[in-house]
Structure 1
């Protein structure tokens, strides 16, 4: 489940439809971290978020610019460090306390005034293997709900209560998920987008059957189904 946070959208005139501009000052590191509540997320006890990932997805509005073309560099007292952006535009940023204290600045190669959308994604940790328990597969749902209740403050009233997961596969290929329930196996097949949406079942959580995946997911996120 993604949640749009409109604190970090920028507009201006595009210099070139194909080439990115020289590096320029973009936003403070502290503002970036706090805008997406990364500080609150990572301040939670590790055991309360061990099935969770809080990601930021970057998407340039200009279709000529790929997310993977964008470079974000943190300039701080110890030098310069590039923030990793995967090919899909996702960042996973654990706050650096020293950079926050010294008010480090993020620079970008986006042209001045180019518009970029940034969304927070309430993701789940992807399983390391193809067979796991139902409780492990669905653990991120109650964890996210509990963490948001604890950390989001008034913002929690703007957020949904998650009741399932959305499993993404790299390429749609009819991937399957089997729940080996006592009453018989239940098979779920990925849709045309390569996704399987699975609503949390309290009885299955209690019985905790084995789950079999035909392929390792590329991404998992909690959802309101």
Structure 2
């Protein structure tokens, strides 16, 4: 079967800029990539990174459709090629997701959520460089499938967690003095919120 090949830096846009930000400055955030066909994820696809030297590195794609491993900065800068186990003429696209390193839990330290949002915007700004004014700005954290939640403040009073399209979210700028976020249910994942309200 014919394979589809593509330059690695085209399949993983922005990854080189992200990797140039020192690891200690991006410990709370991550980039995820998926191959899509007609907007659909392609789980368990076989992908191999081939470097100019001929070195081959498998880049497994998990059951959700995301790459489990990404190329290193050196591999991206070395004009590596990605080989996908699909027909050469198949039209494919890449989906990029900028996410948090936060694990799903029923309760969070509000300071950690705030630090994650702040770090995300710092990383986006550094990686985007002169184009940072066009880059998205993260304003908070969302908790899909958590059903609801409560914000606990330093003085002991509480407030309900706001929701957007039935998804609870926490925006540090709106809740100064928050110390904990308690959720009704553990979320399926924890992502960024870039809404203004």
Query: How many Å apart are 1:61 and its aligned residue?
Result: 0.8
**In 1, distance between residues paired with 2:16 and 2:92?**
22
Aligned residue number for residue 101 of structure 2: 125
Pairing 1:150–2:122 present: no
CA offset at residue 107 of structure 1?
0.6
Provide the residue aligned with 2:24 in structure 1.
47
Kindly report which structure 2 residues correspond to 1:1-225, keeping only aligned pairs within 5 A, or say none.
Answer: 22-33=1-12, 36-61=13-38, 67-76=42-51, 77=53, 79-91=55-67, 93-97=69-73, 99-100=75-76, 102-127=78-103, 129-169=105-145, 175-181=147-153, 182-187=156-161, 195-196=167-168, 198-202=169-173, 204-205=175-176, 207-213=177-183, 214-225=185-196
Shift, 1:114, TM fit = 2.0
Q: Which runs of 5+ in 2 are unaligned?
A: none
Q: Would you say the 8 A contact 1:124–1:140 is kept in 2?
A: yes
SS in structure 2 at match of 1:137: helix
Q: RMSD of the TM alignment (CA)?
A: 3.0
Using structure 1 for the length normalisation, give the TM-score. 0.69
Conserved? CA contact 1:176–1:190, under 8 Å: no
* Structure 1, unpaired ranges of 5+: 1-21
Which runs of at least 4 in structure 1 moved beyond 6 Å after TM superposition? none
Q: How far did 1:189 drift? A: 6.6
Q: Is the 8 A contact 1:134 1:204 kept in 2?
A: no
Distance 1:62 1:222 in 2: 22
Conserved? CA contact 1:38–1:93, under 8 Å: no
Distance (whole Å) between structure 2 residues aligned to residue 188 and residue 73 of structure 1: 43
1:139-176 Cα shifts (integer Å, max 9, x gaps): 3322122222222023323323221223334xxxx633
* SS across alignment from 2:43: helix
